[in-house]
C-alpha cells in the first residue's frame, strides 16, 4: 500500500511538472478559435481580425472554425467539451448569456463549462432592408410592417442570436409579430438580403456598414443613442420614432473550463495587445465599432459581464415565455 501511494505521488508530481512546463511554453502549435456562426458574418469578421493580431504576438497560427447552428449553441458546446489546453477557444457574443435561459436543454452548463480570456468589443446594431424594399424610412417601415405583418420577412441567425434578439425588440416595439427566417449566421442572411429573398434584418454594423455605404442595402436606423461617425446619414432609432430601442452586442473570448490560469492570462495579454493593434483599431472603426478597453479584456471582466447578463436576461426571457425548445 505504502509503495502504491509513493508511486502515485511521484506520478502526480510528474504530471504537475509537465502541466506547468506546458503552460510556460504555451503556445507550441496552432490554436483554433470556434466562431459559433457561419463564415462571412459579424462574429466571424471580428474574430478573424483579432485572431490575426493575436497570432503575431503568440507566434503561432490561429485558425478560425465556423460551427454555426442553433443560435450559437452548437459551437459553444463544441468548445465546452474540448480539452482545456488552450488550443481550442470560443469567440461568442451576448448570445452566450441569453441562450442560458432560452435553451432549457443546453449540452453544457454556461457558467461552469468555460474559463474566461476577456471582452473583445461591443457592436451597435442597424435595422436594414433589401435595397428595393418599399418603405423609405423607419416610420414608413413601422406602418408597412403593421399593415403587412404576415408578409414581411425578418432574417436572423437563430434563436438567441443577436439578430434574433434585435428583431424581437423591433417586433415588440411595434407590437406586431412578423415572419422570421432563421439562418446559420447573418453572413448567409446578408447574401439573401442582397439577393432580395428576405425583406429586413437587424444586424451588427460589422456586417452591414460596407453594404449600407455601398448602397446595396437600405438602412433605417442605428440602435445607439447617437448617430455613428461611420454612418452619419443613418438616423438613430430615437430619431426614427422608436425611442428606447437601443441595443449593442458584446463579444468575449472563452476557453474550456480547466484551462491553466497561466494560459488564460497569456491569452488575455495577447488579446489586450491585439485590441490596440493599429490595423484592428482602424478596421473596427470602419465597421462602426471600437475594441474593448484593456481593463475589460481580462478574465475577471468577462466573467462579471457574462454573470450579469445572464441575470439581466433571465427574467425578461422567462416573462416572454418563449424558449428555443
CA distance 233 to 193: 21
Residue 139: partners with Cβ closer than 8 Å, 6 or more residues away: 240, 241
DSSP assignment letter at 231: B
Residues 119-138 that bind ligand MLT (CB under 6 A): none
The span of 36-44, 99-107, 224-232, 305-313 binding ligand MLT (CB under 6 A) equals 36-44
75 touches ligand MLT by CB under 6 A: no
Backbone angles phi, psi at 188, to 5 degrees: -65, -30
* Of the residues 42, 124, 135, 252, which one makes contact with ligand MLT according to CB under 6 A: 42
The span of 23-31, 79-87, 156-164, 210-218 binding ligand MLT (CB under 6 A) equals 156-164
Instruction: Give burial (CB, 10 Å; 0-12/13-18/19+) of 5.
Output: exposed
Contact 126, 234 (CB under 8 A): yes
* Secondary structure class of 179 (helix, strand, coil): strand
Q: Which of 249/275 has CB closer to ligand MLT?
A: 249
Q: Which of 163/268 has CB closer to ligand MLT?
A: 163
Q: Which of 26/220 has CB closer to ligand MLT?
A: 220
* Of the residues 100, 157, 174, 193, which one makes contact with ligand MLT according to CB under 6 A: 157
CB 192 → ligand MLT: shortest distance, Å? 13
CB 69 → ligand MLT: shortest distance, Å? 11
Cα angle 48, 165, 249; round to 5: 40
The H-or-E segment that residue 200 falls in is strand 200-204
Site mask, ligand MLT, residues 92-111, x = CB under 6 A?
A: ---x----------------
Nearest residue by C-beta to ligand MLT? Answer: 41
| Nearest C-alpha neighbor of 174 from the set 143, 130, 198 | 143
CB 177 → ligand MLT: shortest distance, Å? 19
Contact 91, 251 (CB under 8 A): yes
The H-or-E segment that residue 162 falls in is helix 162-174
Site mask, ligand MLT, residues 244-283, x = CB under 6 A?
A: ----------------------------------------
CB 81 → ligand MLT: shortest distance, Å? 22
Cell triple for residue 189?
A: 442572411
* Of the residues 77, 185, 252, 256, which one makes contact with ligand MLT according to CB under 6 A: 185
CA distances 324 to 35, 103, 164, 289, Å, are 20, 5, 12, 30
CB 247 → ligand MLT: shortest distance, Å? 11
Q: Enumerate long-range contacts of 77-80, CB under 8 Å, 24 or more apart.
A: 77/106, 77/107, 77/108, 78/34, 79/34, 79/114, 79/254, 79/255, 79/256, 80/107, 80/108, 80/113, 80/114, 80/256, 80/257
Contact 26, 263 (CB under 8 A): yes
Q: Which of 45/236 has CB closer to ligand MLT?
A: 45
Q: Which of 185/260 has CB closer to ligand MLT?
A: 185
Site mask, ligand MLT, residues 191-220, x = CB under 6 A?
A: ------------xx----------------
* Of the residues 51, 142, 162, 212, which one makes contact with ligand MLT according to CB under 6 A: 162
The span of 13-21, 185-193, 260-268, 316-324 binding ligand MLT (CB under 6 A) equals 185-193
Backbone angles phi, psi at 10, to 5 degrees: -65, -45
The footprint of ligand MLT (CB under 6 A) covers: 37-38, 41-44, 95, 157, 161-163, 185-187, 203-204
Amino acid at each position: 500500500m505504502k509503495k502504491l501511494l509513493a508511486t502515485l505521488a511521484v506520478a502526480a508530481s510528474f504530471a504537475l511538472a509537465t502541466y506547468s512546463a506546458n503552460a510556460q511554453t504555451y503556445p507550441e502549435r496552432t490554436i483554433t478559435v470556434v466562431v459559433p456562426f457561419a463564415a462571412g458574418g459579424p462574429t466571424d469578421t471580428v474574430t478573424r481580425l483579432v485572431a490575426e493580431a493575436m497570432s503575431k504576438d503568440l507566434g503561432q497560427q490561429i485558425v478560425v472554425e465556423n460551427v454555426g447552428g442553433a443560435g450559437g449553441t452548437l459551437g459553444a458546446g463544441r468548445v465546452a467539451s474540448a480539452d482545456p489546453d488552450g488550443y481550442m477557444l470560443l469567440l461568442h457574443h451576448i448570445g452566450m448569456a441569453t441562450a442560458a435561459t432560452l435553451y432549457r436543454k443546453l449540452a453544457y452548463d454556461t457558467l461552469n463549462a468555460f474559463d474566461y480570456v476577456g471582452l473583445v468589443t461591443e457592436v451597435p446594431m442597424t435595422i436594414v432592408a433589401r435595397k428595393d424594399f418599399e418603405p423609405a424610412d423607419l416610420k414608413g417601415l413601422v406602418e408597412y410592417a403593421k399593415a403587412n405583418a404576415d408578409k414581411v420577412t425578418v432574417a436572423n441567425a437563430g434563436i438567441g442570436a443577436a439578430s434574433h434578439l434585435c428583431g424581437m425588440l423591433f417586433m415588440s416595439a411595434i407590437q406586431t409579430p412578423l415572419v422570421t427566417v432563421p439562418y446559420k449566421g447573418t453572413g448567409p442572411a446578408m447574401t439573401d438580403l442582397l439577393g432580395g429573398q428576405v425583406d429586413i434584418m437587424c444586424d451588427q454594423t460589422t456586417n452591414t456598414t460596407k453594404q449600407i455605404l455601398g448602397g446595396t442595402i437600405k438602412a433605417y436606423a442605428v440602435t445607439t443613442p447617437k448617430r455613428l461617425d461611420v454612418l452619419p446619414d443613418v438616423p438613430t432609432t430615437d430619431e426614427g420614432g422608436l425611442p428606447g430601442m437601443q441595443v449593442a452586442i458584446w463579444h468575449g473570448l472563452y476557453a474550456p473550463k480547466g484551462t491553466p490560469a497561466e494560459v488564460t492570462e497569456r491569452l488575455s495579454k495577447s488579446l489586450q495587445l491585439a485590441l490596440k493593434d493599429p490595423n484592428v483599431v482602424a478596421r473596427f472603426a470602419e465597421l462602426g465599432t471600437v475594441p474593448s478597453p484593456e481593463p475589460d479584456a481580462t478574465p475577471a471582466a468577462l466573467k462579471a459581464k457574462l454573470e450579469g447578463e445572464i441575470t439581466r436576461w433571465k427574467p425578461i426571457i422567462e416573462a416572454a415565455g418563449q424558449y428555443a425548445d
